[in-house]
Amino acid sequence: MKNIYTIALGLLMAGTLAQSCKKEMQEINTDPNQLNETRPEFLFTSATLNYSLPGRSQLMNKYRTTLRYMQYIVSDNVDKADMEQPYCDDQKTTFPDPGSSGALYFDFYNSIGRDCARLLDQINAIKEEGRRSTYRELAAICRIMFTYDAWKVMDIYGAMPYSQAFNVTAFPLPVYDYNWQAYQVFDKQLRDAADVLRAKYTGQVNLSKQDFFYNGNMENWLRFTNTLRIKIAQRFEKRNPAHLQAVLQDIATNYQSMIIANNAGSFGYSNVQDWNNNVDDLDQIQNVYVAAYPFVTFLKSTRDPRLPLMVRRNDWGDNYQAYKDIQEKGIPESKALLNDPLVNSSRYWGKHVFSASNGAAYGWEGQPKTKQFTIKDGDKTASRTLSFISLIQTRLFVKNGGFKANNPTLHKDETVVDGNTIKMRTSLLNYAETCFMMAEIAAKGGNGFGKSAAAWYEAGVTASFDYYKALGISQNTPGAADAQLGDFLTRYPYNGLTSVYSQAWVNFLTEPEEAWAMWKRTGYPQQETFNPAGPNKIGDGSGIAYLETLYTGSQYLKIPRRAVLQITSTQMGPNLDKAIDDMKAKDPDYGVDRLDTRGRIWWDMK
């Protein structure tokens, strides 16, 4: 088994290499326009192009799954079926699939995993040892990305062809590897790559213009790799707590506790300049979804300075022309509604996420976002529309927030600029997450690398604020430059693990997949049933975040916990059947079959 995974690490599959080289030579001999070699550093840029969000389906799948599961957003519709669609109903026999598009799974086999494998093959095929040695660091980075992407797939699917992947000649029907085996293999692969980066080899190829993650900064790559090792080990903490402690001790002893240490060292991808310039089919985040009640109410209850950076103000203000029209020309009933004290108490409102909330008892926060008003201009009457429910700050996900120039729903302090002037960076593992991860470890008595849980918590909140402020400035969010953390940490100091989990949930707005994983791993944020008559824990000012229970009026729905294992032409038949049977045998909580997304991946234990 060890030898199999050593081969997977290096991807030095002689049969595949011989076949690929032969095919390449044949193509070169018949195509005079084909170059016989592309430099590996350029292949790395191509292999990772717009990593994690290479297409529209990946971004929109984020909207309809994890952003909804973790109650950052909710459908603007009050249709009962639409509100219940993302969740599992025990009374039904079919369940929603968090990986319904299969993008994460297929991206590994059709792009990032495949291309990193090919790139490693090419580096190892360089005959001149001196030239091959100049690509040691690039090869290490490719192995890191190969491992990282495979772990993300395994994390929600539980199994995947890995050790026999990308060698169709030898393994036309590859076997499946399992998460209960792979996590330690992943750790070994990452540690081996970290050793290469730690060595600081001279004469390495300059990756400053080909590496869109860290611009060739090898120390940042090393710190990320160590941080990722801890993150993966923490995922399996309930199954193997000793492994997490061993990884922490190894990093402390042999790598001088080098983990992500500031926002500049956060792991993420700087998307190419024209990424999502065309927002015609990317603006679902503003046209289909609105901000969710639990998220907005929690931020309001703590007077969190990130609120305007994370949530867009509603239309109830002088910065919106339709509002001023109603103020000046509204009929008496419209003006009375416009001036309701409750409505005017805030510019930030979220919509309930549970389907029973569309009754009158839940008020406007259970209804669609817009309200209609009548104005009278001389003898003519006209209507104006205001959005009461806020949007999530859509500029975090789409250039210009998905708005086009001269859009009448824009507020006067909101701008729309040429998309080529906006640089989008996809966050994948930021410094704040690192701090909250270490705060949890320290709180449980683990190796906190010299800091207490409170110190890590405070660093995490500060880093999260700085991160969202910087994003707001770069994406032209109104007022972002003036935001200040102020006395937030004085009002909400470290108060145990619940405060860590609550702040991690807030920070995960741009990484909702990790909020989903944290919820599965820890049970936080916990769910609470909203009582329209009060009192409620949601937004009670305690600093503890809660999700709403998914009450339909007669029963409670469940958030899916895993994805449906995908089927491809080379990954079906007896090996797939065996993978399902093995996962069910390993853990009865896997579910009744492949499609039962109520079930759990092995690391997600009760």
Residue-wise pLDDT tens digits, 279-326: 877 788 999 999 999 999 999 999 999 999 999 999 999 999 999 999
Q: Taking residues 212-227, what's their average pLDDT?
A: 98
Q: CA dihedral in degrees (441, 446, 450, 451; nearest 10)?
A: 30
Mean pLDDT comparison of 109-113, 188-192, 362-366, highest-scoring range: 188-192
At residue 437 the predicted structure's pLDDT band, cuts being 50, 70 and 90, is: very high
> What are the tens digits of pLDDT across the range 382-428?
999 999 999 999 999 999 999 998 899 999 999 999 999 999 999 99
Direct distance between the N- and C-terminal alpha carbons of the chain, in angstroms, rounded to an integer: 29
Report long-range pairs for 74-78 (Cβ below 8 Å, ≥24 apart). Answer: 74/289, 74/290, 74/291, 74/292, 74/293, 74/350, 74/351, 74/352, 74/353, 75/288, 75/289, 75/290, 76/288, 76/289, 76/290, 76/351, 76/368, 76/369, 76/389, 77/368, 78/358, 78/366, 78/367, 78/368
Q: Could you tell me what percent of the chain has a pLDDT over 70?
A: 93
Q: At 415, list the tokens.
A: 């701008």
At 101, is the pLDDT very low, low, confident or very high (cuts 50, 70, 90)? Answer: low
pLDDT bracket for residue 570 (50, 70, 90): low
What residue type is assigned to position 606 of the chain?
Answer: K
Q: pLDDT band at 102, cuts 50/70/90?
A: confident
Residues 481-525 have pLDDT tens digits of: 999 999 999 999 999 999 999 999 999 999 999 999 999 999 999
CA 34 – CA 197 distance, rounded (Å)? 34
- Considering 59-68, 333-342, 514-523, the range whose residues carry the highest mean pLDDT is 514-523
Check whether 25 has a pLDDT greater than 70: no
Whole-number Å distance between alpha carbons of 339 and 529: 30
pLDDT at residue 278 above 90? no
Return the number of other C-beta atoms located less than 10 Å from residue 431's C-beta: 26
Backbone Cα Rg of the chain: 26
Mean pLDDT calculated for residue range 138-152: 98
- What was the pLDDT predicted at 335? 95
Tokens of 340: 């309701």
pLDDT of residue 87: 97
Q: What is the pLDDT of residue 1?
A: 35
pLDDT over 70 (residue 34):
no
Regarding predicted confidence, which is higher, 50 or 236?
236
What stretch of H or E contains 383?
strand 380-387
Bigger pLDDT: 113 vs 10 = 113
In single-letter form, the type of residue at position 217 comes to N
At 24, is the pLDDT very low, low, confident or very high (cuts 50, 70, 90)? Answer: very low
pLDDT band for position 103 (cuts 50, 70, 90): confident
Buried b (16+ CB within 10 A) or exposed e, 507-519: bbbbbbbbbbbbb
User: Residue 572's pLDDT is what?
Assistant: 63
**Residue 22: which pLDDT band, with cuts at 50, 70 and 90?**
very low
Q: Average pLDDT of 336-344?
A: 90
| pLDDT for 21 beyond 50 | no
pLDDT tens readout for residues 497-506: 999 999 999 9
Measuring CA to CA, how many Å separate 377 from each of 322, 339, 374, 381? 13, 20, 10, 6
Q: Report the pLDDT averaged over residues 559-568.
A: 91
Residue-level pLDDT at 30: 35
Residue 157: closest CA among 515, 598, 521, 565: 565
| Percentage of residues of the chain with pLDDT beyond 90 | 81
- pLDDT for the residue numbered 37: 65
Q: Is the pLDDT of residue 17 over 60?
A: no
What integer is the mean pLDDT of 37-42? 88
Looking at residue 392, its pLDDT comes to 98
pLDDT in tens, 242-268: 999 999 999 999 999 999 999 999 999
Cα–Cα dist 499/544, whole Å: 6
What rounded mean pLDDT belongs to the chain?
91
Mean pLDDT of 125-151: 97
Alpha-carbon distance of 466 to 468, in angstroms, equals: 6
What's the confidence (pLDDT) of residue 198? 97
